[in-house]
Amino acid sequence: MNKVKDHLLQGILWISAILTIVILVTIIGFIFLKGYKLMNISFIFGDYSPTGGGGIWPMIITTIYTIMISLVIATPIGVFAAVYLQEYAKQGRLVRMIRFATESLTGIPSIIYGLFGAVFFVATLNFGMSIISASLTLTIIILPVVIRTTEEALKTVPQSYREGSLALGTTKLQTLLKVILPSAVPGILSGIILSMGRIIGESAAIFLTAGTVAALPEGIFSSARTLTVHSYLVTQEAGDIELASAIGIVLIVIIFVLNLTATYISNKLNKAD
Amino acid sequence: DNEDSSNARYTLSISGSTSVGPLAEKLAEKYEQQSKINIEINQVGSSAGITNSIKGVSEIGMSSRDLTEEEIASGLKETIIAYDGIVVVTHPSNKVGDLTIEEVKDIFTGKVKNWKQLGGDDMEIVVVSREDGSGSRDAFQEIVGYSSSELIKSALIASGNGNIKNTVATNKHAVGFISFEYIDDTVQPVKINGVEATTKNVLNQSYRLSRPFLFVYKMENLSKEGQSFIDFILSPEGQKIVSDAGIIPLK
Amino acid sequence: MKTAVQLPKNNSFQPQNNKNAKISVHNFNLFYGEKQALFDISLDINEKEITALIGPSGCGKSTFLRSINRMNDLIDNVKVSGEIFIDNENIYRSNDVIKLRTKVGMVFQKPNLFPMSIYDNVAYGPRMHGIKNKKVLNHIVEESLRGAAIWDEVKDRLKSSALGLSGGQQQRVCIARAIAMKPEVILMDEPTSALDPISTLKVEELLSQMKENYTIVIVTHNMQQAARVSDRTAFFLNGEVIEYDTTDTIFSVPKDKRTEEYITGRFG
Amino acid sequence: MKTAVQLPKNNSFQPQNNKNAKISVHNFNLFYGEKQALFDISLDINEKEITALIGPSGCGKSTFLRSINRMNDLIDNVKVSGEIFIDNENIYRSNDVIKLRTKVGMVFQKPNLFPMSIYDNVAYGPRMHGIKNKKVLNHIVEESLRGAAIWDEVKDRLKSSALGLSGGQQQRVCIARAIAMKPEVILMDEPTSALDPISTLKVEELLSQMKENYTIVIVTHNMQQAARVSDRTAFFLNGEVIEYDTTDTIFSVPKDKRTEEYITGRFG
Amino acid sequence: MSGFMEKSNRRKYFLEKLSGKLFLICAFISVISLALIISFVFFKGFRPFVAEGYNFIQFLLGYDWVPGEGHFGVFPMIVTSLYATIGALIIGVPIGLFTAVFLAEIAPKPIVKILSPAVQLLAGIPSVLFGVFGLAVIVPFLQNYLGLAKGQSLIAVIIVLAIMMLPTIVTVSETAIRSVPQSYREGSLALGVSEMRTIFKVVIPAAKSGIMAAIVLGMGRAIGETMAVILVAGNSLMIPTSLTDSVRPLTTNIALEMGYAAGIHQEMLFATGIVLFSFILILNFILAKISAKGGQ
Ligand SMILES: Nc1ncnc2c1ncn2[C@@H]1O[C@H](COP(=O)(O)OP(=O)(O)OP(=O)(O)O)[C@@H](O)[C@H]1O
Ligand SMILES: Nc1ncnc2c1ncn2[C@@H]1O[C@H](COP(=O)(O)OP(=O)(O)OP(=O)(O)O)[C@@H](O)[C@H]1O
Ligand SMILES: [Mg+2]
Ligand SMILES: [Mg+2]
Ligand SMILES: O=P([O-])([O-])[O-]
């Protein structure tokens, strides 16, 4: 009887995993099948041309810019915020409030972030439609993910590590930097990877704040177009699924490389394990 | 190609409609070659573009819808730079290839629910419309003669020409409307009152489904570079680019 | 300072007004939330002696030990009253817990090495206190591991993870990590409970050597160990100190019947 | 079956061809990756006896103990060779580890209670094996906690988290959790190392009682404990069994010099 | 004398204080952002009700949404959002959680090595492409296999959202499950409890907090998603009576019309945002309650 149940449970796990794999393969397969024909050197490294046949190099650069800047801003803020909530704050009203705020941020549709960013960063702070406005908007979007995943990672660091370190007369900060955060790296990393996904996948929040200028950005105050915004525009107006899919392939490769890099860095940080 | 652009070059910022955007990009590409300015085009939607031009975030806004009274009151001026033809499209397998304006109205208001009633196969009609506020939709409804509240409730709403096209292309029951420039062989254009949807027929006014593309700006924000770009668009050279792009020139 | 202290009411012994007292505890109470775990503890712990804390499981030995370096601060809802003086400084008044914990090292009941290499575990404390010179660190690490009777077993695998060690090995590396800081006081919570007799002997020898320089407080379940290594012994029961005296007295002529019962039930 | 077994080469003793053998180990080797931790272990463990495993820290006692219920399966890169028979069944051939582990209970070196209430921890095993009746469960929980000499301390807080207990209390609840399953064999990895003498005594009494029904294998650092409770003792050194004999023999006339050295260095 | 006694730890305490403050500020940034966004949305969204005399109750419970004629009722969208979110959770959470369990506990190593990063790839595919995929694969599939006139439907939305939640749920829960101490597993297995039951009775409960985080974040992704949903929802303005009806959730309403909306119409879209906001707050509140209950 128990055995039957066990097999059943195991079956459920396998089926779920297989479903996930099927979904993955279908989607990625779809994107590759639809998009591979457009792939060539000049498509990737060429400049954009509004009359067609151009490449997507400016969008690739813009995408990388946006990811880097958003992560550089959001990761420390998010990790530190999680550290505050988990390691410093007395668990109480304040913490619950911050946590609630953070979680409520996750469900706001990106178009609202975009409109907010357009009013706040673009107009009020006068950053203009620019990569920096978009990155700041994206920072708000991904903060909840970074904060929450980091918090969870911190929770799993055994209390005995903290005790062991503090008992040696180290400060909380030292304990945090040398013992706690390194042990939490895998969790933080998964948050960062998810955030990269969120940044890459975003369109509405970006085109309202960075615009859609299809040229190589001259700096972080330039308007620019990310790959996803590009694929959004070509789907929306031209309905060009092949082009959107080709952009999808490029994005998948970018994410793949970034994830590998992130994992590599985390292994480096964690080498004693 | 902006690589050789130096700081000395003037940057003209334009933002707005995603339907006007592609055309504006093509015009800008040509104009940048002969003038000494940079043109930044941001396709963020008509309303955002209009707001940007009112707030001075952009010098010129692009709109595919008419300005509201409020917007005009805030001092915006408009210039029509081209016309956009609108065509009713069905799935390529659909046998119905010609409709009267009345029939189109009956379809979109739900009076006619089956293609059989229009001489097609016995199957349900799936209506695909643009979203509320869309310039194409406003123009289409006005010319065909029904209001938003008359639109059949079960109509699918798609944002943008591309999404309508893809929706119709993947559903043999469907009927929708898109701009001329997006027509390709994945969908089938329908004649209206026997008249084919062509630029020529729009210009000779035998085909009635069209609406204007606008540039909007506040006079006090418009630089001489901005003015000369508008002048370029209205010139024969500019209008040739318009018609090459599959869009209807002014004359 | 001593004069200001009220004498405890419930306890059957009097604090000794010893000038040597390194640690002096007065009417110390500790609560885990509502639950009181320590009741009116008062005792003096002498400098350069070994003081053993004995008593049945759950009587509050670890809790008391952790009060001496304010490790209980980390637990939510812990409340304390009363005073603990170290070198005549009230440790619950001073805000310098770093100084306190640098001065007062600790070895925990469960080994709690960090997920780092053995070397990095031992070098952790000194590094955090600013020592960067490789040679000096190497020296400290070797000396400490030798001191904890574990050098020979790990010298070839200093760079491999400390978590791959056996339980007893881990405990000794914990001791090494604590003594690497050269504290003045060392608190040890059953440091040899996971050790084999030989390692235990080595650690006990180490304790006797260290006594010359350090003040040591040790929790142990092992009566013989308490008898063998300690100078004074405190017997805890249900969060109270029942008796505190020289080890000889406790083990030969205990004053309290409960102490005697506990001791004579002995066999460890 | 026995005849097929090759006699060990390196070891100084011969397995006893004992009909009573509950557990029979033949030429058992274990590797952590490249590193060999157990070398050619061969010994028979008798039914309804207590067998003690002694030896210095890191010699492989825990590793061997964990081989008997195949707990080492969980560690990556562990490779074994040789055989272990329980009730004449080769446990490394059979795939029914659940049956094996139901039959062979275990108490770990570090207490490892689940983050549940005390009650749920003890009731966990029986529940998972299908017992749902509240009364029966209550009975099992009480009996097991009493058996582990912890009932009185926890009877008023059965529903509160097991993780708030002191180290020794946790260890006894672990014992209770293991005996709640009424296994045939119980493996105990230093079960009393964190216990005070009285609890230790109680657990030892319990062991003696349980001996009537169960086969017990216990790792201990405490020579007296080994001498006191066990029928047979195996002395491990560097992953080998140096000597295995009746406890009397081991402690009075050990055959191997190293055993003698270890025993006489005794003091626990 | 202690080996490492510095004369003064003032510098360390200063750093300690400073870092504490820095962390506090970081924590407040999300509160400030939320406050700014809320006030922005509320400022815009409440004006029609305050200054123009629109009735908020009518807005909430109204059936008609015809911006051109001044009819603003979002009731069908509220119902749709509710169905879509719950539906996506019902499909996405178990698949995601079980996949995470599979990856963390029972999958052979080579599978983990490939599948884990592959799932994370899924996280970075732009939502537009999910929508395109939905439109090109899921919608026609539903059309053909259910014999519908149109595949744009509530069920299509639910499927797309469930898929989009997957990476978040899988990745976050997998990390949580992996960090459950091995000793818990050992403790259970040693009692002769099977691996499966150990997983379900000990490991998953021990990872509960992380799993809740996964659900909250996944749900956030699902609620906030617009671009993909626009393409597969159909966006019709009806109260869904079956899974195959084409529908318009709150988010899509905003994203769909914001590009061209002006004046009252735009403000009403912000008002839709307020409703959405309350919706999120209520859901988070319920989830927090559930997870607090499970914690006892
Ligand atoms: N997971 C592991 N990976 C690698 N080596 C290990 C692992 N576990 C134990 N060892 C090594 O195997 C040897 C035997 O370890 P084991 O835990 O069996 O010792 P023990 O006799 O139980 O010691 P103690 O009395 O200290 O608990 C030791 O050298 C130890 O470092
Ligand atoms: N974090 C905590 N929360 C609540 N109660 C606790 C906590 N830690 C310990 N206690 C309780 O306080 C009492 C004293 O615990 P303590 O750990 O000091 O005992 P101990 O004397 O060290 O026992 P052992 O010899 O078993 O380690 C016990 O009843 C214990 O259950
Ligand atoms: Mg203790
Ligand atoms: Mg061991
Ligand atoms: O051009 P429109 O997008 O407004 O129809």
Q: Under 8 Å CB-to-CB from A225, ≥6 apart: which residues?
A: A58, A59, A62, A207, A210, A211, A212, A213, A214, A233
Backbone angles phi, psi at D184, to 5 degrees: -90, -35
Residues of chain B found within 8 Å of residue E150, distances taken between Cβ atoms: 126, 156, 171, 173-174
Task: Give chain C positions within 8 Å (CB) of E1.
Answer: 184
CA–centroid distance, residue D73 to ligand 1 (Å) = 15
Give the ligand 5 atom nearest the CA of B160: 3
Contacts of A21 in chain E (CB under 8 A): 115, 118
Query: At residue D42, does pLDDT exceed 60?
Result: yes
Secondary structure class of C103 (helix, strand, coil): helix
pLDDT tens digit sequence for B183-230: 889 999 999 999 999 888 988 888 988 888 999 999 999 999 999 999
Q: What is d(CA E238, CA B110) in angstroms, rounded to the nearest whole number? A: 15
Beta-carbon pairs below 8 A across chains D and E: 69
Give the model confidence (pLDDT) of B167-181 as tens digits: 999 899 999 999 988
**Residue A166 to chain C, least CA–CA distance (Å):** 7
Work out the angle at residue B180's Cα, subtended by the Cα atoms of residues B175 and B186, and round it to the nearest 5 degrees.
50
Report the chain E residue with the minimal C-alpha distance to residue B68.
Answer: E262
CA B63 – CA B48 distance, rounded (Å): 9
Hey, how many other C-beta atoms are within 10 angstroms of the C-beta on D130? 8
pLDDT at A267: 78
Round to whole Å and give the CA distance between E255 and E275: 14
CB B42 within 8 A of CB B34: no
Tell how far the Cα of D198 is from the centroid of ligand 3, in angstroms: 15
Question: Among D150, D155, D157, D166, which residue has the most ligand 2 atoms within 8 Å of its CB, making it the best to mutate?
Answer: D166
Q: Is B45 left (phi over 0), alpha (psi -120 to 50) or beta?
A: left
- The per-residue pLDDT for A271 is 56
Q: What is the mean pLDDT of chain A?
A: 88
Position in ligand 5 atom list of the atom nearest CA B19: 1
Gap from CA of D63 to ligand 1 centroid (Å): 6
The answer, for D130 touching chain A at a CB cutoff of 8 Å, is: yes
Backbone phi, psi, residue C218, to 5°: -130, 130
pLDDT exceeding 90 applies to what percent of chain A?
38
B65-75 in b/e form (b: 16+ CB < 10 A) is bbbbeebeeee
| pLDDT of D265 | 62
Instruction: State the pLDDT at residue C145.
Output: 93
Q: Which of E186, E197, E201 sits opposite D108 (nearest CB)?
A: E186
Residue D246: enclosing H or E segment and its boundaries?
Answer: strand D240-246
Position E6 confidence tier, pLDDT thresholds 50, 70, 90:
low
pLDDT the model gives residue A156:
86
| Cβ contact B133:E257 at 8 Å | yes
Looking at ligand 1, which residue's alpha carbon is closest to its atom 27? C167
**Distance between B78 CA and the closest CA of chain E, angstroms:** 17
Per-residue model confidence as pLDDT tens digits over D178-235: 989 989 999 999 888 777 777 788 788 878 888 888 899 999 988 888 999 999 999 9
Structure tokens at A19: 């479903």
Contact indicator for B180, B199 with CB cutoff of 8 Å = yes
Q: Does E189 touch chain D (CB under 8 A)?
A: yes
User: Is the model's pLDDT at E10 over the cut of 90?
Assistant: no
Give the C-alpha separation, E257 to A205, whole Å.
15
pTM (whole model) above 0.90 = no
In angstroms, the CA B16 to CA B24 distance is: 10
Query: How far is it, in rounded angstroms, from Cα E291 to Cα E296?
Result: 9
Name the residue with higher pLDDT: A116 or A92: A116
Give the side-chain half-sphere CA count within 13 A for C202. 19
Torsion of CA A195, A199, A203, A209, to 10 degrees: 120
How far is A34 from E273, CA to CA, in rounded Å?
35
Task: Quote the strand ranges of B35-75, DSSP E.
Answer: 37-43, 60-63
Pocket around ligand 2 at a 6 A CB cut-off: C 32, 35, 37, 57-63, 75, 109; D 164-169, 196
User: What is the mean predicted confidence (pLDDT) over C211-227?
Assistant: 88
Q: What residue type is assigned to position D151 of the chain?
A: W
Enumerate the domain spans of chain E.
2-53, 75-295
> Taking 90 as the threshold, does the pLDDT of residue A137 lie above it?
yes
Average pLDDT over chain D reads 85
End-to-end CA distance of chain D: 40
Surface-to-core class of residue D212, CB atoms within 10 Å of its CB (0-12 exposed, 13-18 middle, 19+ buried): exposed
Average pLDDT over residues A256-269: 82
Q: Give the pair of three-digit tokens for residue A39.
A: 């792939």
Q: Is the pLDDT of residue A29 over 90?
A: yes
Alpha carbon distance, N-terminus to C-terminus of chain A: 40
Alpha carbons C186 and E21: distance in angstroms, whole number: 33
Name residues whose C-beta falls within 8 Å of residue C180's C-beta, 6 or more positions apart in sequence.
C122, C123, C125, C126, C140, C141, C143, C144
CB of C268 sitting under 6 A from ligand 1: no
Instruction: Give the pLDDT of residue D191.
Output: 85
- For residue D4, is pLDDT > 70? no
From start to end of chain B, where are the E strands? 10-16, 37-43, 60-63, 76-90, 98-99, 126-130, 156-158, 174-179, 188-189, 191-192, 210-218
Distances (CA, A) of A192 to A73, A86, A262: 12, 18, 8
pLDDT for position A249? 92
* CA pair distance C131, C99, nearest whole angstrom: 16
For B132, counting Cβ atoms within 10 Å of its Cβ (0-12 exposed, 13-18 middle, 19+ buried), the class is buried
Number of C-beta neighbours around residue C203 at 10 A: 26
Q: The domain E75-295: what is its CATH number?
A: 1.10.3720.10
Q: Is C168 in the pocket of ligand 1 (CB under 6 A)?
A: yes
The predicted structure's pLDDT at residue D17: 52
Element spanning B138, H or E: helix B135-144
Q: Which chains touch A (3 or more CB pairs under 8 A)?
A: B, C, D, E
* D171 CA: nearest ligand 2 atom: 26
CA D196 to ligand 2: nearest atom: 25
User: Is the minimum CB–CB distance between D115 and chain A shorter than 8 Å?
Assistant: no
Report, as an integer, the average pLDDT of C146-152. Answer: 87
Q: Is the pLDDT of residue C266 over 70?
A: no
Chains B and C touch (3+ CB pairs under 8 A): no
Tell the residue number behind the tokens 């080469």, with chain if given: D9
Of E183, E191, E205, the CB nearest to D128: E191
Task: Say if CB A143 and CB A218 are below 8 A apart.
Answer: no
- The sign of the dihedral angle between the CA atoms of B182, B185, B191, B196 is positive
Is residue B210 a contact partner of residue B178, using CB atoms and an 8 Å limit?
no
Q: Between these two residues, E87 and E221, which has the higher pLDDT value?
A: E87
Confidence (pLDDT) at C139: 95
Residue whose C-alpha is closest to residue B160's, from B143, B186, B181, B174: B181
C-beta of residue D52 within 8 angstroms of C-beta of residue D247: yes
| DSSP SS3 for E2 | coil
Residues of E in contact with B149 (CB under 8 A): 64, 66, 68-69, 71
Tens digits of per-residue pLDDT, C234-265?
A: 999 999 999 999 999 998 898 988 888 888 76
For residues C9-26, average pLDDT? 62
Residues A15, E99 contacting (CB under 8 angstroms) = no
Question: Given the DSSP bridges, would you call strands C232-237 and B191-192 parallel, antiparallel or unpaired?
Answer: unpaired
Beta C50-54 vs C215-219: how paired, if at all?
A: parallel
Nearest by CB to A239, which of B1, B18, B165? B165
For residue A182, report the distance from its CA to the centre of ligand 1, in Å. 25
**CA pair distance D221, C196, nearest whole angstrom:** 5
Looking at the CA of C163, name the nearest ligand: 1
**CB contact at 8 A, E84 and E156:** no
Hey, how many other C-beta atoms are within 10 angstroms of the C-beta on C202?
19
pLDDT at B135: 81
C-alpha dist (Å) from residue A229 to A108, A232, B52, E93: 19, 5, 19, 29
* Residue D222 CA to ligand 4 centre (angstroms): 13
Query: What pLDDT, on a 0 to 100 scale, did the predictor assign at position C14?
Result: 43
Residue E2: pLDDT over 80: no
Structure tokens at E4: 């490492």
Q: Which of C129, C140, C185 to mutate to test the interface with E (most CBs of E within 10 A)?
A: C129
- Per-residue confidence (pLDDT) for residue E8, from 0 to 100: 65
Alpha-carbon distance D60 to D80, whole Å?
14
Query: CA D169, CA D250: separation in Å to the nearest integer?
Result: 32
The answer for A 1-30 residues in CB contact with D (under 8 A) is: 1-2
Half-sphere exposure of E137 (CA within 13 A, CB side): 19
For residues C202 and C229, is the Cβ–Cβ distance under 8 A? no
Query: Searching chain C, which residue's CA lies closest to the CA of residue A167?
Result: C101
Residue C140 pLDDT level (bands cut at 50, 70, 90):
very high
Is the Cβ of A126 closer than 8 Å to some Cβ of chain D? no
Q: How far apart, in Å, are the Cα atoms of C253 and each of A75, A136, C256, E292?
A: 65, 75, 9, 54
Domains observed in chain C: 21-263 (3.40.50.300)
Q: What does the angle CA D2 – CA D4 – CA D9 come to, to the nearest 5 degrees?
A: 95
Helices (H) and strands (E) in chain E, counts: 14, 2
pLDDT band at C19 (very low <50, low <70, confident <90, very high): low
Distance from CA of C114 to the nearest CA of A (A): 6
Residues in A touching B183 (Cβ below 8 Å):
none
Which tokens sit at D20? 């009573």
Q: How far is the CA of A203 from the centre of ligand 5 (A)?
A: 19
Residues 6 or more apart in contact with residue C156 via CB below 8 angstroms: none
Q: A98: distance to nearest CA of chain D, Å?
A: 27
Give me the interface pTM, i.e. the ipTM.
0.83
Establish if D109 touches chain E: CB-CB under 8 angstroms.
no
Centre a 10 Å sphere on the Cβ of residue C100 and count the other Cβ atoms it contains.
Answer: 20
Farthest CA pair distance, chain E = 87
Type and span of the H or E element at A240: none
- Average pLDDT per block of 10 residues along chain B, 251 residues long: 55 89 91 89 85 89 87 91 93 92 94 93 94 85 91 90 91 92 91 90 88 92 92 94 89 74
> Would strands D21-32 and C215-219 be described as parallel, antiparallel, or unpaired?
unpaired
Tell me how far the alpha carbon of residue C238 lies from the centroid of ligand 2, in angstroms: 10
Average pLDDT value for residue range A219-228: 90
**Alpha carbon distance A249, E125 (integer Å):** 9
At C165-202, the pLDDT tens digits run 887 788 889 999 998 988 999 999 988 877 777 778 87
Contact A105 E30 (CB under 8 A): yes
Q: List beta partners, residue B10.
A: B37
**CA nearest C114: which of A270, D74, A264?**
A270
Per the structure block, which two tokens stand in for A248?
């999808």
